[in-house]
Structure 1
Amino acid sequence: MALKVLVVDDASFVRDMVKRAMRTYFPQVTVEEAINGKKAQILMNKTHYDLILCDWEMPEMSGLELLQWARGQDAYKKTPFVMVTSRGDRGHVVEAVQSGVSDYLGKPFSPEMLAQKVNKQLAAKLKRAAGEKSSSARPGSDSASVLMQASDSAKQASAPAVTPGPFADSAALLTGGPTSPKKSAPDPTSGKKALAQIRFAEFNLPCVIKAITLTEVKVIAKRGQKFPMILDPAVVDIEVDDGETLERINGYVHMLQAVEKRVDTDFISIVIRFVDEDPDKMASLSKFIAKF
């Protein structure tokens, strides 16, 4: 019998990304989806899933509320439940551990990172389903220790929510450093109105906001050794005011373009299309846009 995995996320882009990764790494697994905790409850009452991959922040019912409900059901007391979220601070990790979460995957994440988490939770079942030796990943033995380790690795891979300090570093990185070989070229970061950092699965990218709406943001970033690709998932953190930030806006890379018409251009224009539908985030974003 095929294993069943339920993906719960209010962003269709994230659900599609997870489904593609699952088809690639685990073709023997059947994947179903739900747009929030309420929809997930309905599906979980109708059938049993071998693994739940769930976002934290969703309308109607959050991932934490769904986890707490699941642990109160006989059928899901011990079912692996992985929280997939941009919340990487210790307080939320502890809260999830106390509610019975099995593991944690920080946004943004790569397909490989997702596959490692799934394999860790379903290694034995995958081995039986595939009829072959499972991969070398071994399940964790203690929920709390696993989550604390996962939190640390998520912070290293996904980068934690940005504080004012890193934004100051972002400004220095964008406007400082070695001068361009073409000294007469204008600096596209001059006259900037706001700074931001975009978090990708394996690195952070400091940038300057040039235009922003409720659906996307256009930024200018200095060209470096690491750069994203089209459709890469991303989390945007914006400096709102001194000492305040607008954090964890989920999205993906919609467009990449050289700022200057030359091969060795120093700056790249990036458009991040938002997939977040969290009403609180959208309200904060609206206020920021009004002042931008």
Structure 2
Amino acid sequence: MATLKALVVDDASFVRDLVKRTVRQRFPVIETTDAQNGRRAQSLMSRTAFDLVLCDWEMPEMSGLELLRWMRQQPQYQKVPFIMITSRGDKDHVIEAVQEGVSEYLGKPFSPEGLSKKIIKVMGARLKQAMDRSGKSLASPAEAFKESAALLTQKREPAAEPSARPEPASPGVARAAKPARSAAGRPAPTLASVRFADSTLKSVIKDINLTEVRVLAKRDQAFPGILDQAVIDIEIGDGQMARLNGYVHQLQAVDKRQDTDFVSVTIRFVDEDPQKLEDLSRFVARFRASNR
């Protein structure tokens, strides 16, 4: 029987479902409720007492940072653990979240194991006691995720998760390059680095629309599994970046030969934030114009 309550806040239903499944399978004593943005979460928190909040940063109507600020002003929520789950991993944003009272910081894409570690860390003895009363135990991360392997489509080594302590942004977090023209006047390829929980795939964008992006990558890299989370950073102009969340929809060899050098990866977008969709629309228009 659940004795603790957690609120999962993210504008992408795919991410909310992934977080709730992880919590349900790993911590049966935690009951989860979800909200699609900070405004809805604020309404739920005003009516129900939650013991844990797992929240995205970039959302419509009210961001995760705005929700955190409001939450720390409420007497009943001043000490409630707040885990920020976001694709923003640069130093300035980590510092800002820490200053506002974030308990832990988890970067997207995240592994279920990484999420579990953060929850155990912020809930501490209270979670252990609840699990003990229910006859469950907090197994080691390796043991725990042997049991919940259904959450993953392939076995992988644990990913190092960003700390809530301010650290420099990882040089592996790359972005889509601005379209350019070759000396011969042909469109130069649009490069992109797609981030997964434990790897970054260097690739070339072959096609992109409002629902998905298809990239080509050399097969000598580490490839994700079907349904794995992904984040692709695209430059939308004036140095601004859009971080689009998605999942791997398809992996396909470019050639019919077994020794093909390239693999096509299709990533479906899951963001429902109108601002992100607007940013994506501008990028798609620029991409198509530069590749005519």
Shared fold per TM-score greater than 0.5: yes
Select 2:271's aligned residue among 273, 276, 285.
276
Structure 1 or 2: more helix by fraction: 1
1:146-185 residue pairs with structure 2 within 5 A?
A: 147-148=164-165, 151=167, 155=170, 159-160=172-173, 162=175
1:259 aligns with 2:254: yes
Q: Return closer, same or farther for 1:245/1:99 CA change in 2, 3 Å cut-off.
A: closer
Q: Which residue of 2 aligns with 1:20?
A: 21
Distance 1:42 1:209 in 2: 41
Q: For the Cα contact (< 8 Å) 1:240–1:288, is it kept in 2? A: yes
Question: Does structure 2 conserve the Cα–Cα contact (< 8 Å) formed by 1:194 and 1:240?
Answer: no
Change (3 A) 1:258 1:20: same
User: Which residue in 2 is equivalent to 1:285?
Assistant: 280
Determine the C-alpha separation between the residues in 2 that align with 1:35 and 1:199: 23
Q: Does 1:196 align with 2:185?
A: no
Q: Distance in 1 between matches of 2:259 and 2:201?
A: 19
| Greater Cα offset, 203-212 or 217-226 | 217-226
Identity value in percent: 57
Tell me what 2:34 maps to: 33
Distance 2:67 2:286 in 1: 36
Correspondence list, 1:38-53, <5 A = 38-53=39-54
1:58 aligns to what? 59
Amino acid at match of 1:124: A
- Give the conservation status (yes or no) of the 8 Å contact 1:56–1:64: yes
Per-residue deviation at 1:282?
Answer: 2.3
TM-fit CA distance, 1:47: 1.2
Equivalents in 2 of 1:65, 1:19: separation in Å?
A: 22
What secondary structure is seen at the aligned counterpart in 2 of 1:277? coil
Shift of 1:225: 4.6
CA deviation digits over 1:106-131, x for unaligned, max 9? 01101011000011011211211111
* Structure 1: tracts of 5 or more residues without a match: 138-145, 168-189
- Partners in 2 of 1:240 and 1:80 — Cα distance? 34
Task: Specify the SS of the correspondent of 1:147.
Answer: coil
CA displacement 1:8-52 (0-9 Å, x = unmatched): 000000001111111221122111100001110111111111110
- Which stretch of structure 1 is more off in the superposition, 3-12 or 231-240? 231-240
2:230 maps to which residue? Answer: 234
Q: Deviations over 1:112-158 (max 9, x none)?
A: 11000011011211211111664579xxxxxxxx6226x56x848xx
TM-score (norm 1): 0.80
Q: Deviations over 1:64-122 (max 9, x none)?
A: 00000000001100000011001111111111111111110001101011000011011
- Cα offset, 1:281, TM superposition: 2.8
Q: Which amino acid aligns with 1:266?
A: D
Q: What's the counterpart of residue 72 of structure 1?
A: 73
